[in-house]
């Protein structure tokens, strides 16, 4: 039965091919192009459920330049971006205006750009009169190695650069066919835009020069002069890209410790690695195992010798097949050159190779293989049925492979679990998996992942810092139930956070995290120093300044706290915590109006910031502004219905406003939640006294005294109630007890004396 279904599918394919044969050339081209796009979209269907992963937060969600028109100015005219890729960042800026942080829109655009790139590749191959151009483009579109670019939002710079890269090639081919000033100007403009999509495209002029040599069987002066301005522009952009990479993306970090010989060995090995993955796409991983290079061993130079041998043999047969091999291999190596490890890139810390690095190079390796096979199939006159069957089987295999590979990019857990399964020593994958687990509050799972990362790489500072953060989270949870165990977790956190700071003292976040743990341990001055060091290293750092303000408040350094909180609020006006801390400091300094303004700003930004709401209400109540305080306490109690102190404070506010029934209700609820609250028993008794409910008042005064016998005020209030029911002797005893607790109090002495008369 299965064989019959397969037969029908093949028949459908042959029917489709015959239908295309009956169409006009223009109609056929449109349909073939549409088929490329449709197949690509089918293969990448899993990304419709994919989220933003890894450094997508840096590129999109946390990238403030995407949020405003001023950010667009920064993208083009400042050195704030990590890379000099203004065209790509502008594309992201436009998308952010349309769908914000919703990942679906970015994934759709990325897949469509990849599909468009495949269509453009097909048109380039047609212009070059290469056989099997459409099949080569389809193999590229459906190749699983391309998933690292087409399914990863951060790598939209690859898909954007692909489109402009191939447009530049088409413009050049058009210029060759029709050399006019307009066509030349168009090529220059498109090439400039290409340079601004991604730094590694600077090699395009060299690829075009090789293309000229291959097409014309040699170089002519006119061809070189035509490309000379492109080399100048590429050189200038290359310098800019290197500056941005070293000063903005890397920031002076030590990326690789290989000498030039080691880098050369790794680069030549990478050539064969990428060719193997392009032609045999098995065991694809986000982070491949890091190579151990021994530049003293002659075995390490075998890949380089093989490359030289291919060039030598190809040169010997350059009149026939050798020219094609030389062009393909040279263009492939030239395209890879920027990512072969001779220039610092942060990814080199994890691996010498990556799928997304060979994305543009596959424009050479895939067509070379596919077009060569099609050429020999035509030369040897394979039956059309055989050719179509092989092509359909190949595309089917690639479609399924890409579909499965795209599924891996669904979320952080799927991608890093897959990476760890294939590369158990991928310490960054363990760290990233830990981050994913931490984001869904799986503290134990996150801790285990960070510990595994440290086991693989003992000096991995990020993992130590992240582990410390999770231990602090454990402390926060445990301190509600087991303070002794919580203290142990906090001490563990301090040890690993300190280690992160010692390994990489230049990282501001590590000092910030360490400061949080120190403050939680009560080591305020040490925590303050860590916060200050973090700010020194990172400048603005609004979140750290806000935490510093909070620590300064606890240390009694109120003026300094207000200064830091105001700076934090100025840097990040949307920080509710910064405004809250500014309000607290202003309150302590007696500036009620400024405190009111800051508290209201904090609550406007985060209405559920209950600590700010409670303190704001207390400040208003202490200023006898009970009517203004009341809605703050009401909202607080609504958001924290199990907080006994909140109900008690609301009861006090009702009592101050003489809303006795509501006050009594809140006090009773407070006592239900906390039956040991002596102050609330006293306050409830006071309200009953005002309501002339003396028996109830006596009952609650007695309970208050039984819970807390050393409060002079409660004894005095109880005495007043006892007098009201004629129990003068008992009242006198309560006054004497109050005087014992508060000797020489004139009011208590006068009340006792009046009772004796």
Contact predicate 255/349, CB 8 Å: yes
Q: State the pLDDT at residue 187.
A: 96
Residue 477 neighbours by CB distance under 10 Å:
14
Residue 239 DSSP symbol:
H
Q: In the block, which residue shows the tokens 């130590």? A: 464
- Stretch among 20-34, 72-86, 146-160, 565-579 having the lowest mean pLDDT: 20-34
Residue 362 neighbours by CB distance under 10 Å:
24
Residue that finishes a domain, picked among 352, 379, 408 = 408
Of the candidates 203, 196, 205, which has an alpha carbon nearest to the alpha carbon of residue 241? 196
Of the candidates 399, 408, 327, 409, which has an alpha carbon nearest to the alpha carbon of residue 139? 399
Q: Is residue 282 situated within a structural domain?
A: yes
Question: CA 409, CA 246: separation in Å to the nearest integer?
Answer: 29
Q: Is residue 356 situated within a structural domain?
A: yes
Contact predicate 17/31, CB 8 Å: no
Q: Kindly report, residue by residue over 233-261, the tens digit of the pLDDT.
A: 999 998 988 888 777 655 545 556 778 89
Q: Is residue 130 situated within a structural domain?
A: yes
Is the model's pLDDT at 28 over the cut of 90? Answer: no
Q: Is residue 239 situated within a structural domain?
A: yes
Is the model's pLDDT at 666 over the cut of 70? Answer: yes
Residue 381 DSSP symbol:
T
Q: Kindly report, residue by residue over 587-645, the tens digit of the pLDDT.
A: 999 999 999 999 999 999 998 898 899 999 999 999 999 999 999 999 999 999 999 99
Question: CA 152, CA 52: separation in Å to the nearest integer?
Answer: 8
- Structure token pair of residue 521: 């341990």
Is the model's pLDDT at 3 over the cut of 60? Answer: no
Total number of domains constituting the chain: 2
Is the model's pLDDT at 9 over the cut of 50? Answer: no
Residue that finishes a domain, picked among 408, 433, 449 = 408
Instruction: Identify the CATH number of the domain in which residue 680 sits.
Output: 1.25.40.10
Angle of CA points 31, 34, 37, to nearest 5°: 155
Q: Is residue 205 situated within a structural domain?
A: yes
Of the candidates 507, 534, 542, which has an alpha carbon nearest to the alpha carbon of residue 518? 534
Q: Is residue 81 situated within a structural domain?
A: yes
Burial 190-205 (b: 16+ CB within 10 A, else e): bbebbbbbbbbbbbbb
Of the candidates 54, 59, 89, 231, which has an alpha carbon nearest to the alpha carbon of residue 160? 89
Q: Quote the domain boundaries for residue 749.
A: 676-757
Residue 295 DSSP symbol:
T
Q: Is residue 390 situated within a structural domain?
A: yes
- Structure token pair of residue 434: 């830990």
Is the model's pLDDT at 358 over the cut of 70? Answer: yes
Question: CA 444, CA 407: separation in Å to the nearest integer?
Answer: 26
Question: CA 476, CA 490: separation in Å to the nearest integer?
Answer: 9
Q: Kindly report, residue by residue over 260-302, the tens digit of the pLDDT.
A: 898 999 999 999 999 999 999 999 999 999 998 888 899 999 9
Question: CA 88, CA 161: separation in Å to the nearest integer?
Answer: 8
Residue that finishes a domain, picked among 408, 430, 447 = 408
Burial of 741 (0-12, 13-18, 19+ CB in 10 A): middle
Burial of 436 (0-12, 13-18, 19+ CB in 10 A): buried
Burial of 668 (0-12, 13-18, 19+ CB in 10 A): middle
Q: Is residue 243 situated within a structural domain?
A: yes
């Amino acid at each position: 039965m299965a064989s019959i279904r397969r037969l029908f599918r093949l028949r459908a394919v042959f029917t489709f091919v015959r239908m295309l044969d009956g169409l006009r050339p223009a109609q056929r081209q449109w349909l073939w192009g549409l088929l490329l796009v449709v197949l690509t979209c089918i293969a990448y269907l899993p990304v419709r459920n994919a989220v933003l992963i890894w450094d997508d937060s840096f590129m999109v969600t946390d990238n403030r330049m995407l949020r405003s028109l001023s950010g667009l100015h920064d993208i083009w005219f400042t050195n704030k971006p990590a890379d000099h890729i203004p065209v790509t960042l502008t594309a992201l800026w436009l998308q952010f205006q349309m769908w914000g942080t919703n990942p679906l829109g970015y994934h759709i655009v990325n897949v469509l750009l990849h599909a468009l790139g495949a269509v453009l590749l097909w048109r380039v191959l047609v212009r070059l009169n290469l056989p099997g151009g459409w099949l080569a483009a389809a193999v590229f579109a459906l190749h699983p190695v391309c998933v690292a670019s087409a399914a990863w939002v951060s790598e939209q710079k690859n898909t954007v650069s692909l489109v402009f890269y191939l447009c530049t090639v088409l413009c050049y081919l058009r210029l060759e066919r029709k050399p006019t000033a307009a066509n030349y100007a168009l090529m220059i403009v498109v090439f400039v835009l290409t340079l601004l999509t991604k730094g590694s495209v600077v090699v395009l002029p060299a690829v075009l020069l090789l293309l000229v040599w291959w097409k014309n069987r040699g170089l002519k002066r006119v061809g070189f002069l035509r490309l000379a301005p492109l080399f100048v522009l590429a050189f200038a952009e290359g310098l800019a890209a290197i500056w941005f990479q070293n000063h903005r993306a890397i920031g002076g970090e030590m990326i690789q410790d290989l000498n030039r010989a080691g880098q050369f060995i790794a680069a030549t090995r990478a050539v064969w690695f990428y060719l193997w993955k392009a032609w045999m796409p098995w065991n694809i991983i986000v982070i491949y195992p890091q190579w151990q290079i021994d530049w003293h061993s002659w075995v390490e130079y075998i890949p380089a010798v093989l490359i030289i041998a291919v060039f030598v043999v190809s040169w010997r047969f350059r009149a026939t097949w050798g020219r094609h091999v030389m062009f393909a291999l040279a263009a492939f190596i030239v395209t890879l050159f920027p990512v072969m490890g001779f220039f610092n890139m942060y990814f080199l810390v994890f691996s010498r190779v990556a799928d997304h690095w060979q994305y543009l190079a596959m424009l050479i390796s895939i067509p070379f293989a596919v077009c060569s096979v099609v050429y020999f199939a035509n030369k040897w006159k394979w039956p059309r049925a055989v050719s179509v069957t092989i092509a359909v089987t190949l595309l089917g295999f690639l479609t399924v492979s890409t579909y499965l590979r795209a599924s891996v990019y669904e979320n952080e857990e799927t991608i890093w679990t897959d990476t760890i399964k294939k590369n158990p020593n991928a310490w960054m994958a363990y760290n990233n998996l830990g981050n994913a687990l931490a984001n869904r509050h799986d503290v134990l799972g996150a801790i285990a992942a960070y510990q595994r990362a440290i086991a693989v790489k003992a000096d991995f500072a990020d993992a130590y810092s992240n582990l410390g953060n999770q231990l602090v989270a454990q402390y926060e949870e445990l301190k509600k139930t087991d303070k002794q165990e919580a203290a142990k977790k906090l001490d563990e956190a301090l040890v690993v956070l300190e280690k992160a700071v010692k390994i990489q003292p230049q990282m501001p976040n590590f000092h910030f995290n360490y400061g949080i743990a120190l403050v939680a341990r009560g080591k305020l001055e040490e925590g303050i120093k860590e916060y200050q060091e973090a700010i020194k290293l990172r400048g603005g750092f609004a979140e750290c300044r806000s935490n510093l303000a909070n620590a300064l408040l606890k240390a009694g350094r109120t003026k300094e706290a207000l200064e830091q909180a105001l700076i934090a609020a100025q840097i990040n006006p949307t920080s509710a915590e910064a405004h809250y801390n500014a309000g607290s400091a202003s309150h302590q300094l007696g500036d009620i109006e400024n405190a009111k303004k800051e508290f209201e700003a904090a609550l406007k930004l985060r209405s559920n910031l209950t600590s700010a709401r409670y303190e704001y209400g207390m400040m208003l109540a202490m200023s006898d502004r009970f009517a203004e305080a009341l809605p703050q306490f009401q909202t607080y109690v609504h958001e924290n219905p199990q907080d006994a102190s909140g109900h008690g404070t609301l009861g006090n506010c009702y009592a101050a406003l003489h809303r006795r029934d509501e006050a009594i209700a809140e006090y009773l609820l407070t006592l239900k939640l906390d039956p040991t609250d002596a102050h609330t028993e006293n306050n409830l008794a006071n309200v009953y006294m005002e309501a002339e409910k003396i028996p109830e008042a006596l009952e609650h005064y007695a309970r208050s005294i039984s819970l807390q016998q050393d409060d002079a005020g409660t004894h005095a209030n109880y005495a007043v109630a006892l007098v009201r029911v004629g129990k003068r002797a008992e009242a006198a005893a309560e006054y004497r007890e109050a005087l014992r607790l508060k000797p020489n109090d004139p009011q208590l002495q006068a009340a006792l004396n009046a009772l004796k008369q």
